């Protein structure tokens, strides 16, 4: 728990390995069902952040293919600069902290998964565009307002996001969210970009 009350687990990277160890112990005892549960947890978790990984994301998007959901692609702004200026150990701490902040206070049924590198995906089943925008904007603000100077003096971290709520195959939704993410970057970063519901082809920004 950080000093400002936000739960950020800096040792979360041990969780997948812990699940593997527990799985082997249950297997040795002949409890194959419990062993399978822990092994599955290890396979679904990102090794660095201990949040959900790309494998879990792909499985869930396939399962939710016919349902209504909103999806946001989130990227840490200027992350290369963080690594170059403060070092990769601090960069790893930033990744773990951002993962924890993004998944905090998500609506019921929603989840955060690490897409790769410094990119994350927020999946929000059952939320319309307005509800999803509110959830993503809250997540953006949690990151921007976090006391990063306590991690390292001079450190600031923000995220940009692209949000889509339109129906369609998972690959198309991810592609649109990614395009909107880069629109958010072009708009100056630390914003959420989303389609204008009234003017087709237009993009709006919050933040």
Buried b (16+ CB within 10 A) or exposed e, 169-198: ebeebbebbbebbebbbebeebbbbbbeee
Q: 73 and 160 in contact (C-beta within 8 Å)?
A: no
Token look-up 């590198």 returns 117
Distance of CA 104 to the CA centre of its chain: 10
Buried b (16+ CB within 10 A) or exposed e, 42-52: bebbbeebbbb
What letter would DSSP give residue 207?
-
Reported in sequence order, the residue ranges of the chain that DSSP labels E, i.e. its strands, are 69-76, 111-116, 119-125, 159-164, 192-195, 203-206
- Choose the catalytic residue: 118, 119, 171, 198: 118
Active site residue 33: no
Buried b (16+ CB within 10 A) or exposed e, 8-38: bbeebbebbeebeebbeebeeeeeeeebeeb
Query: What is the set of active-site residues?
Result: 118
């Amino acid at each position: 728990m950080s000093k400002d009350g936000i739960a950020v687990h800096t040792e979360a990277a041990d969780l997948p390995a812990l699940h593997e160890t527990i799985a082997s112990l249950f297997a040795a005892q002949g409890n194959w069902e419990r062993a399978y549960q822990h092994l599955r947890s290890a396979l679904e978790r990102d090794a660095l952040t201990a949040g959900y990984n790309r494998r879990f994301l792909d499985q869930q998007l396939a399962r939710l293919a016919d349902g209504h959901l909103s999806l946001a692609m989130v990227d840490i702004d200027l992350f290369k600069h963080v690594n170059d200026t403060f070092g990769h150990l601090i960069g790893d701490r930033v990744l773990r902290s951002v993962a924890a902040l993004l998944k905090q206070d998500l609506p019921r049924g929603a989840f955060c998964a690490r897409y790769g590198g410094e990119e994350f995906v927020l999946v929000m089943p059952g939320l319309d565009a307005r509800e999803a925008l509110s959830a993503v904007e809250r997540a953006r603000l949690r990151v921007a307002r976090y006391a990063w100077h306590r991690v390292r003096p001079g450190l600031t971290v923000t995220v940009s996001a692209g949000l889509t709520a339109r129906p369609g195959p998972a690959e198309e939704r991810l592609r649109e969210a990614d395009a909107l993410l880069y629109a958010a970057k072009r708009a100056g970063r630390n914003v959420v970009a989303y389609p204008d519901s009234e003017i087709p082809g237009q993009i709006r920004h919050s933040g």
